[in-house]
């Protein structure tokens, strides 16, 4: 049995069968310790969400296994909660009720009604949403909805919090506020987090390690970068920190030099690139 808190062991994933089979992930291996903040970064379509969905138990792997705290993951469970880029709150329930739904289900047998109520209030307080308990999702901003989604996910006290581009749909300022809040919450409750991001600064700012994925098909982990910066981290101070900038450059180098994404050429650009077309243009 794995001695690590979370182990992704030799995970491969093929979608489809026969001549339509496509091997998206090949032999992904990663060990994560309790309280670690891991970011997964890689070009669009390489398989980041597939990894996250396998850890969440939403997708089965074709080969290999995910072991969480000594138990193999085979299905979704309350020990892993997921926050997606676009909030998944129920529109007919209030902020309080959205969190209550998860809390009442998870702690039905282990907490009294009064304890559950306190817990819902505390979870919403952590993300500064106590002022909007009775509002419905349509009455609050995108950033606030994402806060409630995070509160709901944390309220279930998962062993691992899985964040799939949680700040991706937010404007830069809201994004920065929410990143700071997540950093603070993580330092307070020591949660184990796996986050998918496309944002290099976000990855360096928040993570203990950045997992960089190669391009698909048959994507796997190319490099893992340890971020040895003291916490709590301050985005303004780090902007001039040589170590921070070196980490940033290393991720950028991986993405834009080592794993440069070659987009398929459009018909027009292909024609432009052909020697005949170039000659014709020069004539
Ligand atoms: N259910 C599915 N059936 C078939 N192919 C799938 C399925 N889910 C994902 N794929 C394919 O697997 C590949 C990886 O997809 P995935 O969503 O994991 O990538 P990603 O790195 O998260 O992309 P992005 O950054 O754009 O969100 C893509 O080519 C996608 O089309």
**Residue in this structure with the two tokens 């026969």, named with its chain if needed:** 18
Does a structural domain hold residue 148? Answer: no
**Whether pLDDT at 274 is above 60:** no
pLDDT of residue 277: 46
Does a structural domain hold residue 219? Answer: yes
Does a structural domain hold residue 133? Answer: no
Q: Give the pLDDT confidence of 112-159 residue by residue, as tens digits.
A: 999 999 999 999 998 889 999 999 999 999 889 999 999 999 888 899
pLDDT of residue 173: 87
- Encode 100-115: b = buried (16+ Cβ within 10 Å), e = exposed: bebbbebbeeeeeeee
Q: How far apart are the CA of 23 and the centre of ligand 1, in A? A: 11
Reported ipTM: the value is 0.98
Query: Which atom of ligand 1 is the closest one to the Cα of 196?
Result: 22
Strands 192-196 vs 209-213: parallel, antiparallel or unpaired = unpaired
pLDDT band, very low/low/confident/very high, at 189 (cuts 50, 70, 90): confident
Give the mutation target among 15, 52, 162 for probing the ligand 1 site: most ligand atoms within 8 A of CB. 15
Task: With beta carbons less than 8 A apart as the criterion, state whether 212 and 255 touch.
Answer: yes
When comparing pLDDT for 166 and 226, which is higher?
Answer: 226
Alpha helices in 129-227 (DSSP H): 142-155, 172-189, 200-206
Range of the domain at 219: 1-79+192-270
Does a structural domain hold residue 93? Answer: no
pLDDT of residue 186: 86
| Number of domains observed in the structure of the chain | 1
pLDDT band, very low/low/confident/very high, at 17 (cuts 50, 70, 90): very high
CA pair distance 148, 125, nearest whole angstrom: 10
Does a structural domain hold residue 42? Answer: yes
Task: Identify the residue whose C-alpha is closest to ligand 1 atom 5.
Answer: 15
**Whether pLDDT at 181 is above 90:** no
Structure tokens at 32: 């994560």
Q: Give the pLDDT confidence of 27-71 residue by residue, as tens digits.
A: 999 999 999 999 999 999 999 999 999 999 999 999 999 999 999
pLDDT of residue 6: 97
Task: With beta carbons less than 8 A apart as the criterion, state whether 76 and 106 touch.
Answer: no
Give the residue from 30, 96, 84 showing the smallest Cα distance to 58. Answer: 84
Structure tokens at 128: 């500064």
Angle at 180 between CA 176 and CA 181, to 5 degrees: 115
Give the residue from 131, 133, 126 showing the smallest Cα distance to 94. Answer: 133
Query: Which atom of ligand 1 is the closest one to the Cα of 52?
Result: 18
Q: What is the mean pLDDT of residues 227-239?
A: 95
Q: How far apart are the CA of 17 and the centre of ligand 1, in A? A: 16
Q: How far apart are the CA of 164 and the centre of ligand 1, in A? A: 13
Distance of CA 231 to the CA centre of its chain: 20
Does a structural domain hold residue 144? Answer: no
CA pair distance 6, 76, nearest whole angstrom: 15
Task: With beta carbons less than 8 A apart as the criterion, state whether 207 and 194 touch.
Answer: no
Does a structural domain hold residue 176? Answer: no
Q: How far apart are the CA of 160 and the centre of ligand 1, in A? A: 22
Q: How far apart are the CA of 44 and the centre of ligand 1, in A? A: 8
Q: How far from each other are the two terminal CA atoms of the chain, in whole angstroms?
A: 69
Query: Which atom of ligand 1 is the closest one to the Cα of 50?
Result: 18
CA pair distance 206, 183, nearest whole angstrom: 7
pLDDT of residue 16: 93
Q: What is the mean pLDDT of residues 97-101?
A: 96
Query: Which atom of ligand 1 is the closest one to the Cα of 219?
Result: 14
pLDDT of residue 281: 44
Report the CATH number at residue 207. 3.40.50.300
Does a structural domain hold residue 6? Answer: yes
Ramachandran category for residue 218: left, alpha or beta (phi over 0 → left; psi -120 to 50 → alpha): left
């Amino acid at each position: 049995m794995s001695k690590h808190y979370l182990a992704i062991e030799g995970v491969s994933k093929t979608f489809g069968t026969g001549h339509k089979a496509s091997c998206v992930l090949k032999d992904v291996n990663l060990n994560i310790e309790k309280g670690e903040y891991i970011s997964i970064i890689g070009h669009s379509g390489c398989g980041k969400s597939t990894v996250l969905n396998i850890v969440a138990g939403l997708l089965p792997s074709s080969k290999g296994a995910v072991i969480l705290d000594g138990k193999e993951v085979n299905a979704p469970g309350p020990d892993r909660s997921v926050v997606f880029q676009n909030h998944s709150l129920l529109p007919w329930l209030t902020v309080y009720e959205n969190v209550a739904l998860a809390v009442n289900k998870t702690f039905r047998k282990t907490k009294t009604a009064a304890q559950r109520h306190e817990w819902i209030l505390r979870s919403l307080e952590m993300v500064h949403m106590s002022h909007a308990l009775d509002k419905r999702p349509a009455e609050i901003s995108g950033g606030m909805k994402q806060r409630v989604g995070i509160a709901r996910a944390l309220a279930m006290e998962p062993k691992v919090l899985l964040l799939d581009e949680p700040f991706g749909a937010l404007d830069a300022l809201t994004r920065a506020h929410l990143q700071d809040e997540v950093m603070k919450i993580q330092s307070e409750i020591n949660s184990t987090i796996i986050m998918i991001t496309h944002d290099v600064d976000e990855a360096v700012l928040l993570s203990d390690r950045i997992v960089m994925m190669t391009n698909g098909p048959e994507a796997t982990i190319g490099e893992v970068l340890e971020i040895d910066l003291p916490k709590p981290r301050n985005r303004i101070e780090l902007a001039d920190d040589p170590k921070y900038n070196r980490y940033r450059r290393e991720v950028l180098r991986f993405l834009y030099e080592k794993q440069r994404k070659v987009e398929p050429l459009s018909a027009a650009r292909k024609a432009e690139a052909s020697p005949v077309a170039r000659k014709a243009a020069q004539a």
